[in-house]
Amino acid sequence: MLESHQRFHSANGKRQILIADDELINRELLRAVLQDTYELHFATNGQEALDAMRKHRETLSLVLLDLLMPVMSGMELLRAARADATIAQIPVIVISGDIDSEIECLQAGAMDFIPKPYPKPGVILARVLRTIELSEDRDIISSTERDELTGLYNREYFYRYVEQFDLYHRDAPMDALVVDVNHFHMINERFGTSYGDLVLRQIAEALLTAVQPAEGFVCRREADTFLIYCPHGVDYDGILANASIRLTNGDRQGNRIWLRMGVYANVDKMLDVERRFDRAKRAADTVQGSFARRIGIYDDTMHERELYSEQLIENFDSAINEHQFSVFFQPKFDVQSEPPILASAEALVRWFHPTMGMINPGVFIPLFEENGLVQRLDLYVWRAAAAQIREWKERFGISIAVSVNVSRIDMYDPYLVETLQEVVRDNDIDPSELVLEITESAYTQDSQQIIETVNRLRDLGFRVEMDDFGTGYSSLNMISSLPIDALKLDMQFVRSAFSGTQDTRMLEVIIDIADYLSVPVIAEGVETEAQMLTLREMGCDVVQGFFFSRPVPPEEFERFILERKAVEARVREGDGNDARRGTHKQTAVTYGRIVQALAADYFGIYYVDIQTGAYAEYGAHHKYRSLGIDTTGTDFFADTKRNIERVVYPDDIEMLQATLTKDNIEDSLNRTGVFTVTYRIMFEDGPSYVHLKATRMVGGNDKHIVIGVSNVDEQIRREQERARAIRLANQDALTGVKSKLAYSQDERKLDRAIAAGGQGPFAVVVFDVNDLKYVNDTQGHAAGDQYLKDACTIICQTFKHSPVYRIGGDEFVAILRGTDYAAREQLMAQLDVNNRTDVHGGGVSIAGGIAEFQKDTDQRLAAVFKRADTAMYENKRRLKGTSGSSIR
Amino acid sequence: MTLDDLAAYGANVQEGLGRCMNMEAFYLQLVETIKAEPNFDALAAAIDAGDLDAAFSASHALKGVLSNLSLTPLQKPMEELCELLRAHTDMDYAPLMAEITQQLERFRAL
């Protein structure tokens, strides 16, 4: 019978009602009354009705139920529905001529009873609507109590419930427990959020089962944090063991989910409910990451620490008023200068407590960050720093920029900009002298607002450094689009690069890219000369750390200012000792550079009269003695020619003999002021790269040149390594095509070419691989990866002559020029044909959109990209409309 | 069959039409189906066989639709029969069945 009514079904936004009656006439009568207002489903017996309720449980607003029906009666259905939690909440109105059954029906869970013969249509409509609304209100109330995902109490309701419970159980000792999932974000990342949700639901169920017998109750506070309030003395281990489940579906078999628990036992009922669970949470955090200990107990030590924290918070006001906070300064050195020279300072706060002595900022700053007091502390430091800048300027006639921390909370202060302006104005300094350090993570959270604020500050002349870079939030791509004046590498990041395996490759890549983007790099936490030198070689501009100085009081800092003044004075006198190094920038070689060479890098220095060939050799030492070169000679070029055959790596002999001639050197010196050549020398342990550099002595009239030979083997190997690391960063690991980073670099190049007006025709194609998520979800990530690779192969084979980039999970871009540009229409058609054939074969389908560069209107690649992206989405919609369903 | 025919037959046309949102054609279409309603035969067969439960089932279903369509001359004896059958009353159902049959004949003749 259900079929005969199907023509009445409508897929619109109406509420849905199920009509269960075995008599056609009754169903038709109800249909006539209800069909304008509701979407109707029909059933002709109780079993059909039960099936329909289960099938439409998400959408069904009401069931109208006849009592006497074949197969399963209305009353049986009513009872079955109440017993099935998934459909028990769907309201039912019984419609029957058996008035005597009314009470029984209502007791069995019916919400209303309508007699037969049917009352007037208006009455039916009104009662139906009232019942639906009542039931929806009830659902809303219950959903505000419940966490949608797990069905557990939500946080607000749970706290209220605990308060109520305590009112009636004043003397019952209770425990507050917090359960967290270790590395839950990893589960989400590896297996997807739907799997993560499943895990959370299973944990919720396990906790509920474990706690209910002890008359405890459970809520999900947020994300992967569960709270339990239960009578004191339950078996914590037992609860945790029961809830630590082994999930065994599909190929993820055996993925153990590790939980940790924090216990605040026998709670102090004078405490806020929230604070009780804060204590339990803190206890849970003490065992974070530990596999040996899974349960943390809030104990006396933690309690003392909490009291200590409270005391610090209490003392904050007097500490500010009595100037217990002192501002120290740590110098930042420009290491691309030789010798390194003071560039600026960072202001760092210290607390000298009258009774507790010096308090570590690592203790009080996180505490004040947590409760917002840090905002007042920051202002205190800004003012002190600004006053100090002013004082130094007056006393030493020199401007030392000082950077200060701007905490995340400050960034949300609507008056931040005005406050900073006021600080600068009050102390009569320039905004550029008060440098603002904003932590990297602030940029990633709510970044739009932060970026707007930072832009305003920079417009006003403030300089902004991104602090703590490398702690894991931002990508290198971000840097190019963010408004910053310098990148400050996180101290831990620098330290870990230099510890253990000395893996500095990532550092190098970051510095290289920052250099490419013209953003200076500052390294914090530099402790040794070796670290400083390495960073300098990599191209790091400014270094801060114990190697130069710990943070010192202003009086002590003055010696750095005096040193800088002395260096500057020497420079003015023409000593030249401040030569810019320019390892990266390849500036001209100067006398300062030769001095430096004499001191360190070169193993051979020759002082040669270019006209006569008379020469002297300096500084051949330790292992390079085996070269056996004379200390003085009358014909440098003849001697060299001879020596070359003895010491140079055979493959390079011919090249070097042809290159290292008097004419060549002179010619090059005349043109560029420098002559260089790189070749290999045979040492006992094999060939090594050396670099020979010749330059004239200062002043154009001197007939002498200086030639330096340095061992660059390590440097060359490092450059090869660096090139490899950069290549890797530019390549997508999965598909091997160009990465998003490469895209943003190429984008900049193209934008420059467009700006210069020299860009020829090109087109951008944006691709989106359909159904990746579906494949990932149903067949696992290995299949998903293969699916992506297949898609990528199709794109690369279709657009053979174009660079292809993977710019997102399932998004690719190709930039078409030349052959592919000319054939763009055929190629897009080919992609389309591929989609049609492949979709029906269950294969890969790729939505593509193309846009051409319009020389007259497009000022940036992004404009072309945007049009292609729009075209791609239109194509995607079409694909879904026509054939998308054949995949699913 | 017209509304007038039904009124003359004794049906409460006003009420029945009201349940059909005053859609005359729809009402007449539903009423027409009663002429071939199989439950009448099922009821007679059950009574003949002495199966009071089956007879109750059929009479209950008929009572429901007849009352919803307000076919009063059929509805009244059907209600009476249904209540007697519900109580498994031990009696001769023939006179009541005869009346129902007679009213059904009248109705079918419309």
Per-residue pLDDT reduced to its tens digit, A668-692? 888 877 788 888 888 766 778 888 8
pLDDT in tens, A437-448: 988 777 766 667
The amino acid at residue A805 is: Y
Of the candidates B15, B21, B68, which has its C-beta nearest A25's C-beta? B68
Q: Indicate yes or no: CB of B61 within 8 angstroms of CB of A97.
A: no
Hey, are the CB atoms on B21 and A97 less than 8 Å from each other? no
Which range is least confidently modeled, A163-167, A369-373, A607-611?
A607-611
- Report residue B107's pLDDT band, with 50, 70 and 90 as the boundaries: very high
Taking CA–CA distances from B28, the nearest residue in chain A reads: A25
The answer to whether A22 faces chain B, any CB pair under 8 Å, is yes
Q: How far apart are CA A395 and CA A399, in angstroms?
A: 10
Tell whether B95 lies on the interface with A, counting CB pairs under 8 A: no
Which regions of A770-869 does DSSP assign to beta strands (E)? 804-806, 811-816, 846-852
In angstroms, the CA B26 to CA B31 distance is 9
**CB contact at 8 A, A261 and A290:** no
Q: What is the pLDDT of residues A118-149, one digit of tens each?
A: 999 999 999 999 998 888 877 766 667 778 88
Determine the distance from the C-alpha atom of residue B14 to the mean position of all C-alpha atoms in its chain, rounded to a whole number: 18
pLDDT at A569: 79
Report CA Rg, chain A: 38
B33 vs A68: CB contact, 8 Å cut-off?
no
Amino acid found at A335 = V
How many interface pairs between A and B have CB atoms less than 8 angstroms apart? 50
Cβ A266 vs Cβ A231: under 8 Å: no
Q: What is the pLDDT of residue A140?
A: 67
What's the pLDDT at A679? 87
At A616 the pLDDT is: 72
Architecture in CATH for domain A591-720? 2-Layer Sandwich (3.30)
Longest CA–CA separation in chain B, Å: 43
Set of chain B residues whose Cβ sits within 8 Å of the Cβ of A117:
15, 19, 64, 67-68, 70
Asked if the C-beta of A246 comes within 8 angstroms of chain B's C-beta atoms, the answer is: no
User: What is the identity of the amino acid at B91?
Assistant: M
- Contact (CB<8Å) B18/A33: no
Other beta carbons within 10 Å of A782: 10
Domain covering B3-108: architecture: Up-down Bundle (1.20)
3-class DSSP state of A586: coil
Q: How confident is the model at residue A725 (pLDDT cuts 50, 70, 90)?
A: low
Considering only residues 108 to 127 of chain A, which have any Cβ-Cβ distance to chain B shorter than 8 Å?
Answer: 116-118, 120-121
What's the CA gap between A725 and A376, in Å, rounded? 44
Contacts of A22 in chain B (CB under 8 A): 61
Task: Write out the DSSP string of A403-458.
Answer: EEEE-GGGGG-TTHHHHHHHHHHHTT--GGGEEEEEEHHHHHTTHHHHHHHHHHHH
Q: For residue A10, what pLDDT is reported?
A: 34
Decide if pLDDT at A589 tops 50: no
pLDDT tops 90 at residue A509: no
Give A787: exposed, middle or buried? Use CB within 10 Å, 0-12, 13-18, 19+.
Answer: buried
More confident site: A391 or A779: A391
Residue A418's CB: how many other CB atoms inside 10 A? Answer: 10
pLDDT tens-digit profile of B2-47? 999 999 999 999 999 999 999 999 999 999 999 989 999 999 999 9
Instruction: Test A118 with B20 for CB contact under 8 angstroms.
Output: no
pLDDT at B90: 87
Q: Alpha-carbon distance A811 to A809, whole Å?
A: 6
> Over the Cα atoms of chain B, what is R_g?
14
**Would you kindly state where each structural domain of chain A is located, as residue ranges?**
2-145, 155-298, 330-572, 591-720, 730-887
Interface touch A97/B26, C-beta < 8 Å:
no
Burial A249-268 (b: 16+ CB within 10 A, else e): eeeeeeeebebbbbbbbebe
* Residue A565, φ and ψ in degrees, nearest 5: -60, -40
Residue A691 region, left (φ>0) first, then alpha (ψ -120 to 50), else beta?
A: beta
* Closest-CA residue of chain A to B75: A117
User: A539: alpha, beta or left, given left = phi > 0 and alpha = psi -120 to 50?
Assistant: left
| Phi/psi at A514 (5° precision) | -60, -40
Q: Cβ of B11 under 8 Å from any chain A Cβ? A: no
The class level of CATH for A730-887 reads alpha beta
In whole angstroms, give the CA distance from residue A87 to residue A102: 22
Does 3.40.50.920 match the CATH number of domain A2-145? no
Among A203-212, A558-567, A698-707, B7-16, the least confident range: A698-707
**What element of type H or E holds A767?**
strand A763-769
Query: Percent of chain A scored above 70 by pLDDT?
Result: 84
pLDDT at A698: 54
- Residue carrying structure tokens 């004075």: A569
The minimal CB distance from B30 to the residues A28, A66, A120 is found for: A28
Q: How many CA atoms lie within 13 A of A801 on its CB side?
A: 12
Report pLDDT for A576.
45
pTM for this model (two decimals): 0.45
Report the interhelical angle of A374-396 vs A300-321 (nearest 10°): 50
Which residues, numbered 25 to 54 in chain A, qualify as contacts with chain B under a Cβ-Cβ cut-off of 8 Å? 25-26, 28-29, 32-33
So where are chain B's domains? 3-108
Cβ of A25 and B60 within 8 Å? no
pLDDT at A5 over 70: no
Q: Does residue A248 surpass a pLDDT of 60? A: no
- Please indicate whether the domains covering A155-298 and A730-887 agree at the CATH topology level: yes
Distance of CA A6 to the CA centre of its chain: 51
Residue A784 tokens read as 């998903």
Inter-chain residue contact A68 with B19, CB threshold 8 Å: no
* Pairwise CA distance, residues A421 & A414, whole Å: 13
* Cβ contact A68–B57 (<8 Å): yes
Helix (H) or strand (E) holding A327: strand A325-334
**Do B57 and A29 count as a contact with CB atoms less than 8 A apart?**
no
Residue type for position A552: V
Residues 17-56 of B with CB under 8 A from A: 18-21, 23, 26, 30, 33-34
State whether B65 and A23 contact (CB < 8 Å): yes
| Contact call for A121 and B70, based on CB within 8 A | no
Distances in Å between the alpha carbon of A860 and those of A558, A739, A759, A813? 49, 20, 11, 16
Name the CATH code of domain A330-572 (choices 3.40.50.1000, 3.40.50.2300, 3.20.20.450, 2.40.110.10): 3.20.20.450
Two tokens, residue A658:
């042809």
Q: Which residues pair with A642 in a beta bridge?
A: none
Residue B67 is nearest to which of A24, A116, A120, comparing CB atoms? A116
Q: Quote the distance between the C-alpha of residue A319 and its chain's center.
A: 37
Q: How far is Cα A204 from Cα A198, in angstroms, rounded to an integer?
A: 10
Kindly indicate the confidence band of residue A476, based on its pLDDT and cuts at 50, 70 and 90.
low
Specify the higher pLDDT residue, A483 or A94. A94
Beta-sheet pairing, A92-96 with A112-115: parallel
Task: Answer yes or no: do A32 and B67 touch at CB < 8 A.
Answer: no
pLDDT digits (tens, 9 = 90+) for A823-837: 888 888 888 887 777
Return the H-helix or E-strand segment holding A64.
strand A60-66
In the predicted model, what is the mean pLDDT of chain A? 81
Q: What is the ipTM of this complex?
A: 0.91
Cis peptide before A761 (omega within 30 of 0): no
Nearest 10 degrees: Cα torsion B13, B18, B23, B28: -30
Contact A117 B67 (CB under 8 A): yes
CA–CA gap between residue A370 and residue A393 (Å, rounded): 36
Q: Is A29's CB within 8 Å of B60's CB?
A: no
The band of A13, judged by pLDDT with boundaries at 50, 70 and 90, is low
CB distance A74 to A92 below 8 Å:
no
The pLDDT of residue A462: 94
> Does A68 contact B60 at a Cβ distance shorter than 8 Å?
yes
Q: Which amino acid is at A500?
A: G
**Chain A residues closer than 8 Å to B19 by CB:** 29, 33, 117-118, 120-121
> Three-state DSSP class for A731?
strand
Architecture per CATH, domain A155-298, reads as 2-Layer Sandwich (3.30)
Of residues A724 and A257, more confidence is placed in: A257
Q: Is the pLDDT of residue A4 over 50?
A: no
Whether pLDDT at A732 is above 90:
no
Closest to A353 in 3D by CA, of A383, A389, A318: A318
Nearest CA to B46 out of B100, B97, B99 is that of: B97
A120 → closest Cβ in B18, B23, B30: B18
Q: How confident is the model at residue A507 (pLDDT cuts 50, 70, 90)?
A: confident
Residues 90 through 109 of chain A touching chain B, CB cutoff 8 Å: 97
Give the C-alpha distances (Å, rounded to integers) separating A262 from A266, A299, A731. Answer: 13, 11, 44
pLDDT in tens, A568-582: 777 666 554 444 444
- φ/ψ (deg, to 5) at A469: -65, 135
